[in-house]
Amino acid sequence: MIINHPLLGPRDAQEFTYLGDASLIERPDWEAEDAQDQFHDYLYLRDNPAGSHRELWFHEIGDRSWLVVTRDTTTHEITSVEMARDVARAKGRSK
Amino acid sequence: MTQINRLDGGQVNRGTTLNFSFDGKRYQGHAGDTLASALLANDVRLMGRSFKYHRPRGVLASGSEEPNALVELRSGNRQEPNTRATTVELFDGLEAKSQNRWPSLKFDAMAINDRFSNFLTAGFYYKTFMWPAAFWEKIYEPIIRKAAGLGSLSLQDDPDEYDKGFLHCDVLIVGGGPAGLAAALTAGRAGAQVIIADEDFAFGGRLNAETFAIGDQSGADWAATTVTELQALENVRCMSRTTIIGAFDHGICGAIERVSDHVATPASGKVRQILWRIYGKKTLLCAGAIERPIAFENNDRPGIMLAGAMRAYANRWAATPAQQVSVFTNNDDGHRTAIDLIAKGVNVAAVIDTRADAPRLADCELLAGAQVIDTSGRLGLKFVNIRLADGSKRFIECGALGVSGGWNPNVHMTCHQRGRPVWNERLAAFVPGGDLPVGLSVAGAANGEFSTAAALKAGSTQAAAALRDLGMTARAIRLPNAEDEGVNLAPFWFVKHGKGRAWLDQQNDVTVKDVKLAHQENFKSVEHLKRYTTLGMATDQGKTSNMGGLAIMAELAGKTIPEVGTTIYRPPYSPVAMGVLAGRARGKEFHPVRETPSHKWATEQGASFVETGNWLRAQWFPKPGETHWRESVDREVRAVRGSVGVCDVTTLGKIDVQGTDAATFLNRVYANAFAKLPVGKTRYGLMLREDGIAMDDGTTARLAEDQFVMTTTTANAVAVYRHMEFVHQCLWPDLDVQLISTTESWAQYAVAGPNSRKLLQKIVDPEFDISNEGFEFMACRKITVCGGLRARLFRISFSGELAFEIAVPTRYGDALIRRIMEAGREFDAVAYGTEALGVMRIEKGHAAGNELNGTTTALNLGMGRMVSKKKDSIGSSLSEREGLNLPDALALVGFKPTNNNDKVTAGGHLMARDGPVDAAHDQGYVTSAAHSPILNSSIGIGFLKDGANRMGECMRLVSPLTGTEVEIEVVSAHFVDPEGERLRA
Amino acid sequence: MRYSGLRVIKEALTGHKGWTPAWRDPEPKKQYDIVIIGGGGHGLAAAFYLAKHYGCKNIAVLEKGWIGGGNVGRNTTIIRSNYLLDGNEPFYELSLKLWEGLEQELNYNAMVSQRGILNLIHSDPQRDAFVRRGNAMLLNGADAELLSVEQIRERYPFLNFNNARFPIKGGLAQHRGGTVRHDAVAWGYARAADSRGVDIIQNCEVTGFRIEDGVCKGVETSLGFIGAGKVGCAVAGSSGRLMAKANMRLPIESHVLQAFVSEGLKPVLPGVITFGAGHFYCSQSDKGGLVFGGDIDGYNSYAQRGNLPTVEDVCESGMALIPALGRARLLRMWGGIMDMSMDGSPIIDRTHIDGLYFNGGWCYGGFKATPASGLCFAHLLATDEPHKTASAYRFDRFRRGYMIDEKGMGAQPNLH
């Protein structure tokens, strides 16, 4: 596979390390009343869709960016690649 | 008797005579021959035996689809089993042996199976060999295994080298026949970056096998002229002897280039084969078509071959399988074989055509509406038995029979990403369907465009279309005139006659009867049919046989062929040597080696090294007279605890953490508090995974308000760094912090032992006070050494002694170890390796990889209270789950044998002294064990249920695997200096 | 019809006219007591044990394609019970015992071949871990033996002993491990279940669950609604897709695992061998092909195919271990979709929906589990209680903190 890195252009997927669903960006609030349940759902449950999947890849043999890649799990076609930090900020994550 | 079946003409070079041997017998052929063509020229039709019935077999095809003529090529450590004689280029001195026969190809004792074929039908083995149960492994299976298999591996190390490479292009053209060459010309002249690959050693495809003219040239000459033009274009790379093995994601294709398979041994410095990963923006599949046979009784005798193969041998290789041949066909194309062989002076007895209205195209007898119902000839065809249109029978004497059931587009690659071919009624064949691999289009016979003119046109048109998609323009090229016959064919799959066997899959011995039985037993789905009968599962992957099986199943099920389905193909297109897929990563080069800065020096000291991930670390440093590693290790431990020792700890991961929010960041990745760590201090840190399990540990030093240096374990250096980047970029992107791995930037040595300070005072520049008052336990500082060299000093201890770790830029690592050892001479300083390091950390009860095994919590490690509840850190929430906080949770403790001579076994399990010994009563396990030279006893650490409250308990340590059971006492894991007085000295 | 050597001879002499279909192709009934979704090894085995051991009647197995077309038809055929943890080892040992009696129980020769499995050791910490594991196996009543380098060399002289990057330092052997003819497992269970009245419905895709007031009443299928007292799902690989139809999110990701077979060769490998310094495991089939595999590709996928980097990685490990493999040829590669769970262990449990039961999360260890998984799932479906060897395979173990993590990799499915 080829991942079109937003900063570096097309790179072989072999340069990257895969983590999983991009929902891992949305880490729960540790002080919430049901924090443990929220952390359980966050860490352990997955949509696991057959189709479009937003997922985290790390450019391990490269610039060490985390990327959010939108890829179809049935065809492996990649439709978008974003910097994970931009996605995280868009989701309101900051400090 | 040499080459009695050699004809005139052809593309073999009669000026070069090559000697070769088959089954020990010597023959001669010419440059340009394949092993198969040379054997045929020498009147050798018998080339192999089938898998199950050991039937005598000859060549069926002339290319990589060959199921029968498999040989063991070469000998010794270069022996290659299952090599298709049809794809082996002849070279001088070639050695080949037939396989799967005993004692000889002509007299194969296993052919007895053929007599019992009635018992050995499809899937018979699922129904028997069940009683008694123990007999399967002992009696039945060994017999089956010995009989099965085809060729044999030498079991010697492969002596050849292989390589891998990457290629990029605008258009990859798969196949160098008329369509591929026209495509390459079109794209090449347009200036596109083009790669054209063909598995054959000569470009041209069927043009080399046919007598068609292209323009005013022969097809073969046109191909050669075209390749000459292409090779002159800088933007075109022509790769012969190169098989495209598969279409993978995003348009990436794999290719195998056989660099040296056509010579006896690779030339010096040359590899045997290369695996290329080709990144083509577009791929054009021009892989041609593969002829399919017709099934009839005893259709597997040597001499019976595909009609197209027969004329390929005659036209290209000037060889005929026999002096008198016949042709059996259901289409006009089959007649070409008769025409061409007659032209070559071969006697064609008859053309047998299943069509009642078959045209008479060749100058020989035509038997229209006739079918071949049987054949005879034990080791080679002698007679064919024909049922004529009027029902009467007739024998015809011939040594070879060319069979044509029509042609199947070679759709292999179109299926590699779940594409399914679709049925074309007019061609009575499957053609490429939808869901093609990314960027792939198909042209020529592979797309059902069978005539030469159609192939040329399609190749050119599709190439232009591909370039258009890429925003390039290609001018149409002027195509020469060429043959443009239509397909005239009446589908005919198998002769319904008699009770004998008609073969579909010749290698696996799958017959029409087997398909019928599969249908009868409800193995009707195509996949069930394949798996139950093994149809299409042989080394040719059913390229010539799947279609026939499908057609028969359709007829039995009363369905059309497309209703029954199709089988798709998987990569690789043809079998690939494992060696080339591994490339250079083998032997010592399997993984790269990481050497520590002191490696050269340690080698000079005669160190014994051990693999730690990709690192090589000194394990111990034997001294003259030491005969056992324990002597060296014990000495090193005693020396450290008694005076001073030095150990290279560069392999520990080092991560530089900088920024105004660096402390906040560390507070989140570590379970324990870091925000208030003062500058100039170091702290032990425990890192959890988000699931609350210990991930890694190490020390982190605060060198400045906004600069920390973290160490990780050697094993987790990469994963911890990745995790920290995740925490930063994905969870808290606005924290002002930057991370960089500096593992390889700093050479770091532990200097440990009561004299370590004295030693270092000789190294560290005098303006730096490293006295106990000036540089107390857990201090850290940027310093200079040896007169101005920048360095870092940490007062941390893994051994439990007064100890320091000193780091200098890596390029000074070698110099520093030499300087330290020199300075340490007066203290009898020793170098110590990972073994002594391990012994001392066990003596101190420090957790390492064996304890941080991915299932242990802070609580298990005795650090439960370190997990701060007052802040958010990775893993803190989920670490509070019930199952991780049981009252009798495992706790890290130490073990000492009650009897001093007994040994603590790492991996042993703990049982109550008097209770039963079984899994239900398991109390824990020993993670690490060592001989402590200080205590003069074997000791261990490990996890015990409720361990903290069981000090002093005597238990049984059982290790049935190693046959040991000893009594041990549960003790504190801190065996040496439990109060920590020495490290604070 | 009973299979036997005598029967084969009799049929051979009478033209094979007597063989009957191995299973019927019945029309689905409107209502079953138990419907199992998934005609793979686990689903068919569950149906068989329900019918045979639990006396259940009126059972259907629904298969969207052809039976045995999932992972039971595309694996590396290895069976073993060399597990470490309490939650796993008794279960896999039960499975191995069931394998040992499978042919007699099914009257079908699935070629259970106990040729042994050998896990190689390349470092001291690895030895410590293997010793711990071998002891756990023995303490659970399984077999295990620690082999020295010399013992390994005797049996496998062609391994790389002399020029290895990561030298072989020993091995943990389980002699009762081995291989099974994988397709035959599906067919054997199907035939035995069918003969006990189980309806096997092929080409019947489940498109939804009918759930009323928190109770599952049956399934919507491509052949219409089929009512059921209980519905059991055994569709590993597609678990996420199927259970989403019941609005469930699972602790599972779907990943592709590639497997490979070489051309047929005369006997090379006597048993199953696994490389400890890379991802490679290999055995030789009775037909002579070397059957081998390695790691999963590592990214979520429902496509039954992988990519070259993993192929190369596997072959690199193969060559590092067996340098003679260079001249053997890889014949075919394929991909299967794995239910990669969050701790590497499976789930056999009720769901929060009454009447809906789940079996999945097998990672790439599902094949060897087939008999025990079938039995334990049958036990759960028949009795509503977990089988004692599968009592740890609960959904709520993640919420409660009772993970069964053999590899210690945590909640990252592609590392298990």
Which of A18, A37, A74 lies at the smallest CB-CB distance from C302?
A74
Nearest residue to C273 via CA among C126, C94, C99, C153: C153
B80–C104 C-beta distance less than 8 A: no
User: Where do runs of H (alpha helix) occur along C198-288?
Assistant: 239-244
**Cα of C168 to nearest chain A Cα, Å:** 28
pLDDT of residue B985: 87
pLDDT of residue B567: 77
Nearest residue to A43 via CA among A63, A73, A23, A58: A23
| pLDDT tens column, B928-938 | 999 999 999 99
| pLDDT tens column, B811-868 | 999 999 999 999 999 999 999 999 999 999 999 999 999 999 999 999 999 999 999 9
Choose the mutation target among C135, C334, C388 for the interface with B, i.e. most B CBs under 10 Å.
C135
Distance CA(C187)–CA(C414), nearest Å, equals 31
Distance CA(A22)–CA(A35), nearest Å, equals 20
For residues B894 and B970, the answer to whether their CB atoms sit within 8 Å is: yes
Helix, strand and coil content of chain B, in percent to the nearest 5, comes to 25, 30, 45
**Cα of B357 to nearest chain C Cα, Å:** 36
For residues B490 and B427, the answer to whether their CB atoms sit within 8 Å is: no
**Would you call B590 exposed, middle or buried from its count of C-beta atoms within 10 A (0-12, 13-18, 19+)?**
buried
pLDDT of residue C104: 95
Bridge partners for C293 per DSSP: C259, C281
List the subunits that have 3+ CB pairs under 8 angstroms with B. A, C
C303–A76 C-beta distance less than 8 A: yes
| pLDDT tens column, C386-413 | 999 999 999 999 999 999 999 999 999 9
| pLDDT tens column, C280-308 | 999 999 999 999 999 999 999 999 999 99
Choose the mutation target among C248, C296, C301, C409 for the interface with A, i.e. most A CBs under 10 Å.
C301
| pLDDT tens column, B4-17 | 999 999 999 999 99
Chain B from 252 to 291: CB within 8 A of any C CB: 252, 254, 275, 277
- In this structure, the number of other CB atoms found within 10 A of the CB of residue B98 comes to 22
Strand order from edge to edge, sheet including B365-368: B304-306, B400-404, B324-329, B347-353, B365-368
User: Is ipTM strictly over 0.90?
Assistant: yes
Choose the mutation target among C327, C403, C405 for the interface with B, i.e. most B CBs under 10 Å.
C327
Strand order from edge to edge, sheet including B94-98: B25-31, B13-22, B94-98, B70-73, B80-84
List the subunits that have 3+ CB pairs under 8 angstroms with C. A, B
Pairing of strands B937-945, C31-37: unpaired
| pLDDT tens column, B121-168 | 999 999 998 888 778 888 889 988 888 899 999 999 999 999 999 999
**Would you call B962 exposed, middle or buried from its count of C-beta atoms within 10 A (0-12, 13-18, 19+)?**
middle
Q: Residue range B429-452: average pLDDT? A: 96
- Beta-carbon contacts of B554 under 8 Å, excluding residues fewer than 6 positions away, are B560, B561, B563, B564
Using the Cβ of B129 and the Cβ atoms of chain C, whether some distance falls under 8 Å is answered with yes
| pLDDT tens column, B879-915 | 999 999 999 999 999 999 999 999 999 999 999 999 9
Residue contacts between A and B (CB atoms, under 8 Å): 77
**Would you call A82 exposed, middle or buried from its count of C-beta atoms within 10 A (0-12, 13-18, 19+)?**
middle
C299–A71 C-beta distance less than 8 A: yes
B734–A94 C-beta distance less than 8 A: yes
For residues B973 and B930, the answer to whether their CB atoms sit within 8 Å is: no
For residues B236 and B246, the answer to whether their CB atoms sit within 8 Å is: no
pLDDT of residue B134: 79
**Closest residue on chain B to C290 (Cα):** B149
What integer best gives the mean pLDDT of chain B? 96
**Closest residue on chain C to A36 (Cα):** C399
| H or E segment to which residue C230 belongs | strand C224-233
Using the Cβ of B167 and the Cβ atoms of chain C, whether some distance falls under 8 Å is answered with no
Using the Cβ of B875 and the Cβ atoms of chain C, whether some distance falls under 8 Å is answered with no
Q: Is the peptide bond before B103 cis (omega within 30 degrees of 0)?
A: yes
Give B247's contacts in chain C (Cβ within 8 Å): none
Percent of chain B with pLDDT over 90: 96
**Cα of C277 to nearest chain A Cα, Å:** 20
Give the number of C-alpha atoms closer than 13 A to the C-alpha of residue B426, restricted to the C-beta side: 6
B962–C146 C-beta distance less than 8 A: yes
pLDDT of residue B136: 87
Choose the mutation target among C299, C342, C397, C403 for the interface with A, i.e. most A CBs under 10 Å.
C299
Residue contacts between B and C (CB atoms, under 8 Å): 368
Nearest residue to B325 via CA among B267, B269, B403, B271: B403
Ranges under pLDDT 70 in chain A: none
> What 3-state class would DSSP assign to B193?
coil
Choose the mutation target among B417, B664, B730 for the interface with A, i.e. most A CBs under 10 Å.
B730
B60 CA to centre of own chain: 30
Distance CA(C257)–CA(C295), nearest Å, equals 7
Using the Cβ of B531 and the Cβ atoms of chain C, whether some distance falls under 8 Å is answered with yes
The pair of structure tokens assigned to B359 is: 């045209």
Q: Which residues of A touch C (CB under 8 A)?
A: 1, 13-14, 18-21, 37, 40-41, 43-50, 53, 55, 71, 73-76
Nearest residue to C260 via CA among B535, B507, B582: B582
The full DSSP string for B251-312 is GEEEEEEESSTTSSSPPTT--SEEEEEEEEEEEEE---EEE---B-BTTTSTTEEEHHHHHH
| pLDDT tens column, B581-630 | 999 999 999 999 999 999 999 999 999 999 999 999 999 999 999 999 99
- Distance linking the first and last C-alpha atoms of chain A: 34
pLDDT of residue B186: 98
Which of B722, B726, B734 lies at the smallest CB-CB distance from A95?
B734
Give A13's contacts in chain C (Cβ within 8 Å): 299, 307, 309
**Closest residue on chain A to C309 (Cα):** A14
**Cα of C413 to nearest chain A Cα, Å:** 8
For residues B264 and B91, the answer to whether their CB atoms sit within 8 Å is: yes
C265–B150 C-beta distance less than 8 A: yes
| pLDDT tens column, B28-82 | 999 999 999 999 999 999 999 999 999 999 999 999 999 999 999 999 999 999 9
Model pTM? 0.97
A55–C302 C-beta distance less than 8 A: no
pLDDT greater than 80 at residue B1: no
- In this structure, the number of other CB atoms found within 10 A of the CB of residue C54 comes to 16
A95–B735 C-beta distance less than 8 A: yes
Give C302's contacts in chain A (Cβ within 8 Å): 50, 73-74
Q: Residue range B534-561: average pLDDT? A: 95
Distance CA(C76)–CA(B74), nearest Å, equals 31
Give B521's contacts in chain C (Cβ within 8 Å): 19-22
B725–A39 C-beta distance less than 8 A: no
Distance CA(B742)–CA(B701), nearest Å, equals 14
B876–A30 C-beta distance less than 8 A: yes
Distance CA(B322)–CA(C93), nearest Å, equals 61
| pLDDT tens column, C305-354 | 999 999 999 999 999 999 999 999 999 999 999 999 999 999 999 999 99
Distance CA(A79)–CA(A71), nearest Å, equals 6
User: Where do runs of H (alpha helix) occur along B71-210?
Assistant: 112-115, 135, 141-147, 178-189
Distance CA(B122)–CA(B552), nearest Å, equals 15
Distance CA(B695)–CA(B858), nearest Å, equals 10
pLDDT of residue B497: 79
Which of A17, A25, A28 lies at the smallest CB-CB distance from B730?
A25
Q: Which residues of B touch A (CB under 8 A)?
A: 249-252, 279, 417, 438, 661, 664, 690-691, 718, 722, 725-726, 729-735, 872, 876-878, 880-881
B730–A85 C-beta distance less than 8 A: yes
| pLDDT tens column, B454-499 | 999 999 999 999 999 999 999 889 999 999 999 999 999 999 977 8
Distance CA(B953)–CA(B968), nearest Å, equals 8
Distance CA(B237)–CA(A93), nearest Å, equals 51
Which of C264, C319, C323 lies at the smallest CB-CB distance from B150?
C264
Nearest residue to C188 via CA among C35, C39, C45: C45
| pLDDT tens column, C133-179 | 999 999 999 999 999 999 999 999 999 999 999 999 999 999 999 99
| pLDDT tens column, B791-808 | 999 999 999 999 999 999
For residues C276 and C321, the answer to whether their CB atoms sit within 8 Å is: no
A76–B249 C-beta distance less than 8 A: yes
3-state secondary structure B623-658: CCCCCCHHHHHHHHHHHHHHCCEEEECCCCEEEEEE
Q: How confident is the model at residue B206 (pLDDT cuts 50, 70, 90)?
A: very high
Q: How confident is the model at residue C278 (pLDDT cuts 50, 70, 90)?
A: very high
**Closest residue on chain B to C329 (Cα):** B577
B730–A88 C-beta distance less than 8 A: yes
**Would you call B556 exposed, middle or buried from its count of C-beta atoms within 10 A (0-12, 13-18, 19+)?**
middle
For residues B654 and B815, the answer to whether their CB atoms sit within 8 Å is: no
The region, left, alpha or beta by phi > 0 then psi within -120 to 50, assigned to residue B558 is left
Residue A4 backbone dihedrals phi, psi, to 5 degrees: -85, 90
pLDDT greater than 90 at residue B433: yes
Pairing of strands C224-233, C356-360: parallel
